[in-house]
Amino acid sequence: MDMKVIRIDDALVGPMNNETYDNYLKNHSEYSLFPFRPKTDPGDAWAIPVVTGHKYKIHWQNGIDFERIQLTLSPLWGPTDKNVYIVHNFTDVRAKVDFIMPAKDIVPNMTLVNKTKD
């Protein structure tokens, strides 16, 4: 399954109404396609060129059942570069999903959405 990437900058899609936005996402010519790489060796992973200062939506062409995804910055990335926003739909019915933050413990399941008001 190919990975699909489309630009969704706020300035680009923000003015679109729902119908125009849906049509934009359905237009296959707007996407960049990256062939599926079945190996888990990081040296054989996807390399996706992105332009700093933009927002991208990524997903797999026909959906895929995966348990892990890892994004790694290029060594060419510099601290003065603009941000890059990656949007990825996550729909799953698993009983538990763990989020592991860098240099922290696992964020317990449901703690990011179930907050009590003081």
pLDDT in tens, 36-71: 776 666 666 777 788 899 999 988 776 665 666 777
Highest mean pLDDT among 6-10, 90-94, 95-99 belongs to: 6-10
d(CA 60, CA 17): 25
CA 48 to chain centre: 12
| Cβ atoms of 64 and 89 closer than 8 Å | no
Is the overall model pTM greater than 0.85, yes or no? no
Beta strands in the chain (DSSP E): 3-7, 32-34, 55-60, 85-88, 99-100, 106-107
The residue with greater pLDDT, 72 or 109, is 72
pLDDT at 5 over 70: yes
Task: Give the whole-angstrom CA distance, residue 64 versus residue 4.
Answer: 12
Which pLDDT value is given to residue 105?
67
- Nearest-Å Rg of the Cα atoms of the chain is 17
